[in-house]
Amino acid sequence: MKHVVFSFIFLFSYFAQAQGRAVIRTAISQKSSISSPDLRLNIFLPGVQMRYQDTAAQSQEIVTHYTYTLSFQVNKFLLGFEFLTQAENSGNESFEIEKKFNEQNLFFGYTAIKKDFFVSGKFLLEFMLTPQVLVGRSTNLVKTRLMGTSIESNSAAETTYGMGLIGSARTGYLLVETDLRYQTSKNYEPGSLMLGTVRIGANFQF
Amino acid sequence: MNIVGRGALAGLVLLIVSCQPKSPLSDINGNVNVLIPKPINNSTSYTLEPVQLNDIKVLKEMRGNYAEFFYAPGSNNGALYGTAPQARYSKSQQGFFVPIDMISSQMATIYYHLQNLIQLNESVDLQAVTRKPFQVGLEVRKTDRDQTYEKNNAFYDGYSDSMLFLPMNTTELSLALNAGVIAHEFFHSIFYKKVLGKTKLVNKTIKAEEIRTAQDKADLFNLTYVRGINEGLADFWGWLYTKDIDFMRMSFSGLQSADRSLGLQKLEIGVYQTTEEMNRNIENALDNTVQTNELLLDYIYMIGTPHARFLRNLVDLESQATGSVVSLKTLYRVEGDEKKWIRVLVEFLDQLSTELANLPGKTVSAARLFEYIGERSLQENLLTKDQCIFVIQYLGEFDEDTQVSIGPSGQKINCLKKTNTEFYEARRF
């Protein structure tokens, strides 16, 4: 766990160069609170991610991608993994193009705002806003079929970068998240795009 | 938000802004390899193969020295206008680009074939009638008489000097991916600039009530003939490019393709729409005052296809004699005799244009192309013996036993060996 914490310290110190040493000192100060960490595992059902991007119809539209997400939370720090896939077809029986897009992302977040409410005096409802940064890789697999014969072409893996904000609502085991991001990759069309994700999962506290 | 949160946000913004990659296609230009469907050399089937597209200026729009694309365009002042379609490619690990949708595939395929066809034009001194880059409209909205959008067609528009493809909704190969169709439409641009655009014969709608005088009837005859050979020679061009006698069937497997096949049966040699048959069919079309134009538009293929079959067989006979395979795909790279039939054809167009301009009130001969080949054989080393015998079968009633044709005015037409050469001439006696 110390490795994770120190990784975050390094990451934040890198991100916050412009902000000066105060940020580093504050991040380091988090270390002192890990004596009894709030450690959680978040497991999500398959979610949907909407990306505003180019389509085969020669227009920019909201395109649905499917996501599979897992994340760990240590106090205010969040580390997650996301797998994302989307398929698109165009053409007809004689000539058809099938594109499968895959992406794997590692995201890091820090819960900047957290508000707790008691519903009916019983249920604790927690709201969190977590700025995040992510890095990952994306690939296209294109299958081109021509009158019965086909060629599969794998693209080179391209790095993805992104930043965004996760809004979470948690009560008991239930966890609902909306995730708004700005991402870039050479496998995107256009190269940079806005996206939004909705996912529902369970959180397990250790 | 505490200082850590603020710092994280500021850092993230800096990171994203500094690391943001450009669109993968935005900076790519020059010579680019793209996967397209293309005919297999000297075969009637297609394969998927990376080809080199030269002199690309903007890959995202597939705009370059050879083609410029418009999506659902309009036309004005002799040019298309509208937005460029956006190409979408994935770069394969082997280094070539793979189109990831139909429109992108169409753009790359058309660009490649226009590049070959324009290079051919340049090699046979047709630069003056070659628009470069060639304008191409995709998913063109065109309404028919019932004001519904037409589909499954492609045509050359002389007014805007552009090649236009309508949307396809069939299960067959898109016309925009069909190499023969692209070559066919490309030829129309040559014909328009060589013949149609130089005469008063324009592609207008024919109305029976407007055909009154002998001059009107002569003009209609000439227009029908010109439209007919325009289609026929365009089919020949499509065959030259693909070496597929039935290149249409990839996109139209039905009757239209069979009727326009460039295969020639022995019984069909010497058969074409004669002047008398043309006059009779035009009169029949004029009698049907409601559908005159439609009937004539169907009829022009009956005029054109025998011309396409004639030229194909002529070139095939030469290939058999020399053992070479003649096609635009090799012609545009090879200097020499192989190009002579293209030159003959182009010079025929110039001759036809001149004759049409000097024929007020008169009709052109329905056998004009065949006569022209026969006349040229007198002046130059053009025809082998087999070719000559083939040609004279179109110049009169051919007698298999004597190998002599009897022309319309009763004169004999014979194939004579030229002095000191292996070539023959179609001599009238």
To test the contact with chain A by mutation, choose from B98, B104, B151 the residue with the greatest count of A C-beta atoms within 10 A, namely B98
Answer yes or no: do A97 and B26 touch at CB < 8 A.
Answer: no
Q: Enumerate residue ranges in chain A where pLDDT < 70.
A: 1-35
Q: Please give the pLDDT value at position B202.
A: 65
Which pLDDT band holds residue B208 (cuts at 50, 70, 90)?
A: confident
User: By the 8 A CB rule, do B133 and B61 touch?
Assistant: no
Q: What is the pLDDT of residues B264-307, one digit of tens each?
A: 999 999 999 999 999 999 999 888 877 888 888 889 999 999 99
| Residues of chain B with C-beta less than 8 angstroms from the C-beta of A114 | none
Answer yes or no: do B174 and A94 touch at CB < 8 A.
Answer: yes
pLDDT for B96 beyond 90? yes
Answer yes or no: do B48 and A140 touch at CB < 8 A.
Answer: no
Answer yes or no: do B3 and A146 touch at CB < 8 A.
Answer: no
When CB atoms are compared, the residue of A22, A95, A142 closest to B100 is A142
A49 strand-pairing partners = A65, A197
The pTM score is 0.87
Q: What is the pLDDT of residues A2-15, one digit of tens each?
A: 443 444 434 434 44
Mean per-residue pLDDT for B141-149?
80
| Residues of chain B with C-beta less than 8 angstroms from the C-beta of A90 | 101-103
- Closest CA in chain A for residue B14: A15
Chain B: give the shortest CA distance to residue A163, in Å. Answer: 6
Answer yes or no: do B94 and A153 touch at CB < 8 A.
Answer: yes
| Residues of chain A with C-beta less than 8 angstroms from the C-beta of B20 | 161, 184, 191-192
What mean pLDDT value characterizes chain A? 84
Q: Which residues contact B326 (CB under 8 A, 6 or more apart)?
A: B240, B315, B318, B319, B338, B341
Q: Please give the pLDDT value at position B330.
A: 52
Q: In what helix (H) or strand (E) does residue B279 lie, and over which residues does it extend?
A: helix B275-287
State the DSSP string of B284-301: HHHHSSSSHHHHHHHHHH
Residue B45 DSSP symbol: S
| Residues of chain A with C-beta less than 8 angstroms from the C-beta of B21 | 158, 184-186, 191
Q: Please give the pLDDT value at position A19.
A: 38
- Percent share of chain B, pLDDT over 90: 56
When CB atoms are compared, the residue of B21, B103, B171 closest to A191 is B21
Q: Please give the pLDDT value at position A26.
A: 39
Chains A and B form CB pairs within 8 A to the count of 178
Chain A: give the shortest CA distance to residue B95, in Å. Answer: 9
- Closest CA in chain A for residue B87: A58
Answer yes or no: do B170 and A92 touch at CB < 8 A.
Answer: yes
State the DSSP string of B241-276: HH--TTGGGGT--SHHHHHT-----GGGTT----HH
pLDDT for B349 beyond 80? yes
Chain A: give the shortest CA distance to residue B63, in Å. Answer: 16
Q: Please give the pLDDT value at position B211.
A: 80
Chain B: give the shortest CA distance to residue A168, in Å. Answer: 16
Answer yes or no: do A185 and B21 touch at CB < 8 A.
Answer: yes
User: By the 8 A CB rule, do A16 and B8 touch?
Assistant: yes
Q: Please give the pLDDT value at position B172.
A: 92
Higher-scoring residue by pLDDT: B28, A113 = A113
Distance separating alpha carbons of residues B254 and B171, to the nearest angstrom? 12
Number of Cβ within a 10 Å radius of residue B286: 18
Q: Please give the pLDDT value at position A44.
A: 96
Q: In what helix (H) or strand (E) does residue A24 lie, and over which residues does it extend?
A: helix A21-31
Q: Which residues contact A138 (CB under 8 A, 6 or more apart)?
A: A101, A102, A103, A104, A157, A158, A160, A185, A187, A188
Q: Please give the pLDDT value at position B34.
A: 97
Q: Where are the beta strands (DSSP E) in A36-171?
A: 39-44, 47-54, 60-74, 77-91, 95-110, 113-119, 123-146, 149-154, 158-171
When CB atoms are compared, the residue of B8, B10, B103 closest to A58 is B103
Write b or e for each residue in A189-201: b if 16 or more Cβ atoms lie within 10 A of its Cβ, otherwise e: bbbbbebebebeb
Q: Please give the pLDDT value at position B22.
A: 55
Q: Please give the pLDDT value at position A23.
A: 36
| Residues of chain B with C-beta less than 8 angstroms from the C-beta of A153 | 35, 90, 92-94, 98
Strands of the B67-71 sheet, one edge to the other: B67-71, B134-138, B162-165, B154-157
Answer yes or no: do B92 and A94 touch at CB < 8 A.
Answer: no
Q: Please give the pLDDT value at position B292.
A: 85
Highest mean pLDDT among A23-27, A41-45, B158-162, B167-171: A41-45
| Residues of chain A with C-beta less than 8 angstroms from the C-beta of B87 | none
| Residues of chain A with C-beta less than 8 angstroms from the C-beta of B13 | 163
* The residue type at A2: K
- For B205, B210, B215, B216, B228, the CA distances from B360, given in Å and listed in that order, are 21, 18, 7, 10, 20
Q: Please give the pLDDT value at position B397.
A: 94
Answer yes or no: do B90 and A140 touch at CB < 8 A.
Answer: yes
